[in-house]
Structure 1
Amino acid sequence: MMYGADPLWLMMMLVGLPLIFLPQWWVKSTVAKWQQVPAQEGLSGAQVARDILQRHGIHDVSVEATSGFLSDHYDPKDKTVRLSEDNYHGSSITAAAIAAHEVGHAIQHNHGFFPVVIRSSMVPLVNLGSQFGPMLIMFSLLLMFMNLLAPDMALLIAWTGVIGFAMAVAFHFVTLPVEIDASLRAVKILKNEHYLNPGEMGGANAVLIAAASTYVATALYSLMQLAYFIFRVMGASNRR
């Protein structure tokens, strides 16, 4: 039994949905709160990002504005830090924290930070595994249940899907040290290079911790999904 009326799947969704949506609510509310508080230095997020890059000897990374809320990211292919309009132009504590965090990713890339190298090498397989892994599992077990596919072949396909999805789960967990390290770099830079004063660091920490919680939640939820898929494939194997 997969999805639909499956009690195990419904139970996982009851746990998983709050696990995903509560951190999203937390980060949105925290970001919005500290976007209303201007940093004393008065630098925009774009100025903070460019200044940190220059101070750290990185001259081949550009800083651009991008549309969308919480759309901030570092693109290693284009070597570009992209900040949402509010954080690019704004001089809030949120803008400084997020700008420093994204530049932290640029510094990681420049220094060849090992988890970043691993994560980049996983991307092609992860894209396939996350998209097709669950489909392979679901349809192979369904065809086996309907006697339209030999059990051995169905289980082979299902376990292939499990392995593919496991790669996606591993990717989420490799992402955690990448994101945590970028935030630690951001905190150190903001404090030691005086982009924020000691009284403002609490707000920056709050923004970065809330953002990190979304990655932790995603990793845990993906692990729950993987456990479910393994349980179902093992159950089908025992019943054949």
Structure 2
Amino acid sequence: MYNSSGIYFIVILAMGVSWIIQWRLRSKFSQYAQVGLQSNLSGKQIAELMLADHGITDVRVISTEGQLTDHYNPTDKTVNLSEAVYAERSAAAAAVAAHECGHAVQHATAYSALQFRSAMVPALSAVSKFMPFVLLAGVLMIRSTVIPLGVGIVLFSLTTLFSFVTLPVEFDASKRALAWIDRRGIVTPQEHTMAKDALWWAAMTYVVAALSSLATLLYYVSIFMGSRDRR
């Protein structure tokens, strides 16, 4: 029987690092939310201005419940800003609002990485419903057959690929956001530093998720290869 301690270590490590990153992210956003913008623009106003500057007229800026729930929805073309970001006039709100609009700009300009990620969504939605059961069956049946685990690994590799494709999409959106708020005079040099720092910590959550997914995938692959070697 294979040693399962490795997967427990990976999961615990991933949870620990993820918790630290999330805590640091919330701490940074809380800190920078207290810094009022000299431009005195709200997150909603910043988002609408960025969209207008890029000639995007078919995307709406709306408020959504929760904290750090901000996202761009390409299906209905909406920039969804959390209630605080939507109304606040702070360095944190400026960073988030511009970042989400960065995704809208990617969509409007057919940014290849975003298109690839969007194309993967339907398949991943279907896979995510039964992948955990396939992997569990594969682990339980490893002594008799490696087929279920092999199928599970293929399915899991899609989620890992998605995690890594997400990275350039997120980093590019932040790059677009920071360049625009600087060029447009939305932030002062000090506020720009805060916005950049907040977006960096947000990006780290995606980096940790991608690396955790890769580590878990490699662990399942090691179980698969170990089982084949014993046959």
Alignment TM class, shorter chain as reference: over 0.9
Map 1:20-39 to 2 at 5 A. 20-39=18-37
Map 1:128-139 to 2 at 5 A. 128-139=126-137
CA distance in 2, matches of 1:111, 1:100: 16
- What secondary structure does 1:210 align onto? helix
Show structure 1 runs of 5+ residues with no match.
146-150
CA distance in 2, matches of 1:26, 1:231: 33
CA distance in 1, matches of 2:135, 2:190: 52
CA distance in 1, matches of 2:172, 2:187: 19
CA distance in 1, matches of 2:119, 2:204: 24
Q: Tell me by how many angstroms 1:9 deviates.
A: 1.6
CA distance in 1, matches of 2:207, 2:14: 12
| Aligned residues of 2:71 and 2:80 also touching (Cα < 8 A) | yes
| Runs of 4+ with deviation above 6 angstroms | none
Map 1:136-151 to 2 at 5 A. 136-145=134-143, 151=144
Q: Tell me by how many angstroms 1:137 deviates.
A: 2.4
State TM-score, norm by structure 2: 0.95
CA distance in 1, matches of 2:94, 2:191: 10
Which of 193, 197, 222 in structure 2 is aligned with 1:202? 193
The aligned residue for residue 184 of structure 1 is: 175
Which of 13, 16, 19 in structure 1 is aligned with 2:14? 16
Query: 1:155-188 CA distances to partner (integer Å, 9 max, x unpaired)?
Result: 2221111011000000000000000000000000
CA distance in 2, matches of 1:81, 1:119: 18
C-alpha change, 1:29 and 1:184, in structure 2 (3 Å) is same
CA distance in 1, matches of 2:141, 2:146: 10
- What secondary structure does 1:63 align onto? strand
Matched, 1:74 2:72: yes
C-alpha change, 1:144 and 1:223, in structure 2 (3 Å) is closer
The aligned residue for residue 5 of structure 2 is: 7
| Aligned residues of 1:129 and 1:166 also touching (Cα < 8 A) | no
CA distance in 1, matches of 2:204, 2:217: 20
Which of 198, 207, 211 in structure 2 is aligned with 1:216? 207
Which of 221, 225, 228 in structure 2 is aligned with 1:230? 221
Which of 140, 158, 161 in structure 2 is aligned with 1:170? 161
| Aligned residues of 1:129 and 1:161 also touching (Cα < 8 A) | no
Q: Tell me by how many angstroms 1:238 deviates.
A: 2.3
CA distance in 2, matches of 1:186, 1:163: 35
| Aligned residues of 2:138 and 2:152 also touching (Cα < 8 A) | no
Q: Tell me by how many angstroms 1:13 deviates.
A: 2.4
Q: Tell me by how many angstroms 1:131 deviates.
A: 4.2
The aligned residue for residue 52 of structure 1 is: 50
- What secondary structure does 1:38 align onto? coil
Show structure 2 runs of 5+ residues with no match.
none
Matched, 1:87 2:85: yes
- What secondary structure does 1:39 align onto? coil
Q: Tell me by how many angstroms 1:144 deviates.
A: 4.3
CA distance in 1, matches of 2:205, 2:100: 16
CA distance in 1, matches of 2:191, 2:29: 14
| Aligned residues of 1:73 and 1:83 also touching (Cα < 8 A) | yes
C-alpha change, 1:192 and 1:142, in structure 2 (3 Å) is same
Coordinate RMSD, CA, aligned: 1.5
Query: Match for 1:166: what amino acid?
Result: S
Aligned residue pairs: how many? 231
Which of 52, 63, 68 in structure 2 is aligned with 1:65? 63
Bigger drift between 213-222 and 121-130 goes to 121-130
